[in-house]
Structure 1
C-alpha cells in the first residue's frame, strides 16, 4: 500500500495542535481497533497506519523533519509497528483511556513499590559539617519465605481459570469489546491454592530496617534526600519505591543564617569602635581573629570570606558576616562624665577654628581690631 500523507491519515490540517492530533488519533484507533474489526486485514493496516502517523506528528522534532523532508525525513515505511501489541504497549496511555484497561496487559502486572517519606531533624552542626545518620524504618519488604510469590514454600502459583492467566476479561458493549481486570484474580492472572503463612498470600510483609543516610554538608531546612530503592517493596517482581528524607535543620543561637552565609553580632564599646580593636569571633571550625577598624559605625558588616557554610556537593563556601554593634554606656562615674565633657569640648573646635581664634587674638593685640 502506498504511503499516505500523515495529516491525511489522521484527517487534520498541517497547522493542527497537539490536542487536536491526539483527538484525531483516538478517533482513528477506535474506528479501526482489532477488537471490533476481527479478521479485517485492511482495518488492521489502517490501525497501524494511524499509529505511525500519530507517533510522528505528536513529536515536535519528528514532525518538523516530516514537514520538511516528507517520509524520508523520519525514515517512514509501512509497518512502523510490527504488531498491534506493539501499538498497545507504545500508546498504553491512549488505550487505557479508551478502554479502561490497557489492551497490552497480559498476565500478572508488575507494579513498583510506593515511595516513602521520612521527616528527619538534624542539628546545626550536623548540617554544617555533614553526617551519617542511622534510621530505623518500618516498611513493606518482599516476604523472605515465599520470595514475593505469595504461595507457601513448596507449592505453586496457578493460572487463573477465569481469565486463563491474562489478568483480564472482555465484556461486550454494543459492537465494542472492553477489557477489564478479572474479578476472580483481581487482575493478577494468578490463583494461589496454598497461601504463604507468613505473608498470607500478599508476597510482602512489614519489617523494620536500619538504614544509614548521608547528610551532605551545608544542607538547609526543606532539603529532600532521595535514597533509591529504599521505599516499599514492589508487587509481582516490580521494583521497590524510593525513600525521601525531608530535613529540618535546628537553628544555632550564635549565628543567623542567610543561605550559605552566616551573620554574627559583635558588641564593642564606643572607645573600641573609635580607636579600633582586635577580637575573636566564632566560626564553624573554631574562633577566628577579626580586626575592627578605627571609627567603625554601629551596623557595619565586616566580611570574612569563605568562613560560612559549604554549598552541598561543591568546594565553595559562603561568608561569615560580622555585624558591629557599638554599645553606649548607661551608668557613668563622676570622673567618666568629666572626661567625656572634656572630650566633647575638645572636639567642638576644629583646627581651622583654632587658627581663626589665634589670629583674632594677635590682631587685637596689634590694634588691628
Structure 2
C-alpha cells in the first residue's frame, strides 16, 4: 500500500513552522497513544505513521530531502527509512513530546509493562558508488565496527527508578502541584544497571566487534543522500534496542560522463573528415557501450539525445537521457599537401557557412538543455 504524504498525516501544510509541526504531532500522538487505545491495531498503525512523519518533518535535512524526493529519499528498498520504526524507537526518540499527559510512563500496546527501553547510538559510514552502480542499483557488503552486549553480561533492575527508566518529581507551584518525569540519572533511562560483565566488556557490558553488513542501495541515489539500515548501529545495554547504521552516499566522478540530475552528458570528438563524410562511433553509457550514427555534414555543437540511457529517477519516474555533445576537432598542424587542399577549398561555395533554421545557436541549445 502506498504511503500517505507526511504533511497529510500530521494535517499541516508544506509551509508549516517547526512549532506547528511539533504541535500537530503531539495532538496525533495523544489521540492514538497506546494508553488511550489498548489493543487497538488501527490506533497502533496511526501512532507509528504519525511518529514516522514527525521523524522526517522535524529534521531540517530530512525534510529538505523529503520535499525533493518524496518517500523514496528514505526507503528505496532494503529496510531504509522511518517505516521500520517500532514502539521503542518512538518512545526513545520522542518521549518528551508527550510531556506529563500520561504520567511520564509508557505502557506499550497490549499492556506490556511500564519499562522504557533505551536506544543504542547510531553509526555513520560513507559509501562510494560509481555512476554504473547508481544507475543499476547495487548491494554492498561493508565491514562495520559496532558495540554489542558481551556474552556473559547480566543486568539487574535499577533500584532508583525501579525499572521504569524515569524518576517522577512533584513540585508545588502557584498553579498547584506539578508532576514531571525525567530520565533516571543512575541507569540513564534504561531501567537496568550492570550486574556482572566479562573482562573484555566496557562499563556498560558492551564490546566492539567487526560485522559484515549487507546494504541494498536503490538505483537513482544522489551524492549526499543518506540511507538508514535499522538495527545495525550500536546495541544498548540491558533490554534496549539497537541504534541504526546511517549510510551517506558519495558519487565517484566518471572519467567520460557528467551527471546533471537524471541526465548524463558525453563529449564526443570527431575528425573533420568524419563530420563531412559521416561515420559511426562507439560511446560509453552506464549500461555498457553503444554505437551511434554520425550523419554526413554533422555540425560541431550538435547534441544527440539517447532517450532512457541516463539515470533512473529515485521517485520511479522513468530514466533520464544521455546527451551526446558532438565536437568537430580542428587539426592544428597540416602537411603541405593538406594545406594546399584546404587553401584550394577556402573559397569553394560548399565550404562557406550556410546555417539553416534547424541549426540552433549556442544560446538556443543551452535553453533547450534546461527546459
TM-score (norm 2): 0.56
Following the alignment from structure 1 to structure 2, what is the Cα–Cα distance between the partners of residues 349 and 176? 96
Give the SS at the match of 2:121.
coil
Q: Deviations over 1:67-120 (max 9, x none)?
A: xxxxxxxxxxxxxxxxxxxxxxx9964645x9xx96437975312223222112
Residue 218 of structure 1, aligned match among 196, 217, 220: 220
Q: CA deviation at 1:245?
A: 0.5
1:11 aligned partner: none
1:138 aligns with 2:145: yes
Residue 301 of structure 1, aligned match among 289, 300, 303: 303
Contact 1:140-1:204 within 8 A present in 2 as well: yes
* Cα 1:227/1:173, change in 2 over 3 Å: same
Gaps of 5+ in 2: 1-18, 24-93, 107-112, 353-371
2:259 aligned partner: 257
Give the SS at the match of 2:140.
strand
- Superposition pairs of residues 42-81 of structure 1, within 5 angstroms: none
* Cα 1:285/1:104, change in 2 over 3 Å: closer
Contact 2:158-2:193 within 8 A present in 1 as well: yes
- Superposition pairs of residues 97-176 of structure 1, within 5 angstroms: 103-104=104-105, 108-146=115-153, 150-151=154-155, 157-158=156-157, 160=159, 167-168=166-167, 170=169, 172-173=171-172, 176=177
Q: CA deviation at 1:265?
A: 1.2
1:238 aligns with 2:240: yes
- Superposition pairs of residues 193-204 of structure 1, within 5 angstroms: 194-197=195-198, 199=201, 202-204=204-206
2:208 aligned partner: 206
Q: Deviations over 1:194-241 (max 9, x none)?
A: 433354662533332221112333333112221112122245433322
* Cα 1:111/1:191, change in 2 over 3 Å: closer
Give the SS at the match of 2:340.
helix
For the aligned residue pairs, the C-alpha RMSD in angstroms reads 3.8
Following the alignment from structure 1 to structure 2, what is the Cα–Cα distance between the partners of residues 233 and 283? 43
Q: Deviations over 1:107-155 (max 9, x none)?
A: 7531222322211223333333333222121222234323xxx43xxxx
Would you say how many aligned residue pairs link Structure 1 and Structure 2?
Answer: 252
* Cα 1:252/1:188, change in 2 over 3 Å: closer
Contact 1:107-1:188 within 8 A present in 2 as well: no
Gaps of 5+ in 1: 1-17, 23-89, 152-156, 351-369
2:67 aligned partner: none
Following the alignment from structure 1 to structure 2, what is the Cα–Cα distance between the partners of residues 302 and 104? 64
Q: CA deviation at 1:349?
A: 11
Following the alignment from structure 1 to structure 2, what is the Cα–Cα distance between the partners of residues 257 and 197? 52
Which has the greater radius of gyration? 1
Following the alignment from structure 1 to structure 2, what is the Cα–Cα distance between the partners of residues 93 and 250? 41
- Superposition pairs of residues 328-367 of structure 1, within 5 angstroms: 328-347=330-349
Following the alignment from structure 2 to structure 1, what is the Cα–Cα distance between the partners of residues 310 and 184? 61
1:323 aligned partner: 325
Q: CA deviation at 1:248?
A: 0.6
Q: Deviations over 1:319-367 (max 9, x none)?
A: 22111111122222232222223323331899xxxxxxxxxxxxxxxxx
Give the SS at the match of 1:336.
helix
